[in-house]
Amino acid sequence: MAFVWQVLCAALAGLVIGSLLGLVGWRWWLARRHKTEQRVQQSGVLDSLEVLCKALEQQQVEVSEAAIRISALLDTLPASISPKVDLSDIHQFAQTCQQFDRGQARHNLTPKARHEQDKYRWQLDEENRERIRAAAQRLVTVLPDWRSGLGISSPDR
């Protein structure tokens, strides 16, 4: 009878150890998968930042639109990213542009009110163009360092 108990205890201990090892392996696999997904997402953000900065430089996008999009993308990156670069002009201008109606609210404006907002936004774009372009150029210079710091390979271009 003692032998049966020993076998049962050994089987139970093996089951517990196997379950714990399986749980540790599962958590390790989930952590690796999460890290891979995070790198893919961050790579996409860095690619988008690069495209937006180039589009801004080539005047293919309005300054206000670029600032809003760049600011939103930067907010998705980890705060620990380095090297640090002064992009406060972009964030401040994006914040200034939050006053303009967008989406359904813009659609609900009268054509005259929409045109007045557009005129004011274009004026702000012109006044801030060089500051925002300079900040975008600073951003472009650190993107390769950010990629390597995040463990992301440079895209093939």
Per-residue pLDDT tens over the stretch 82-127: 899 999 999 999 999 999 998 999 999 999 999 999 999 999 999 9
Which pLDDT band, with edges at 50, 70 and 90, does 152 fall under? confident
Per-residue pLDDT tens over the stretch 53-82: 999 999 999 999 999 999 999 999 998 888
- Nearest residue to 74 (alpha-carbon basis) of 90, 58, 63: 90
Q: Among residues of the chain, what percentage have pLDDT more than 70?
A: 97
Q: How far apart are CA 69 and CA 56, in angstroms?
A: 11
Average pLDDT, rounded, for the chain: 92
| The pLDDT of residue 156 | 58
Could you write out the DSSP letters of every residue in 114-148?
HHHHHHHHHHHHHHHHHHHHHHHHHHHHHHHHHHH
pTM of the predicted structure, to 2 decimals: 0.78
Reply yes or no on whether the pLDDT at 36 is more than 70. yes
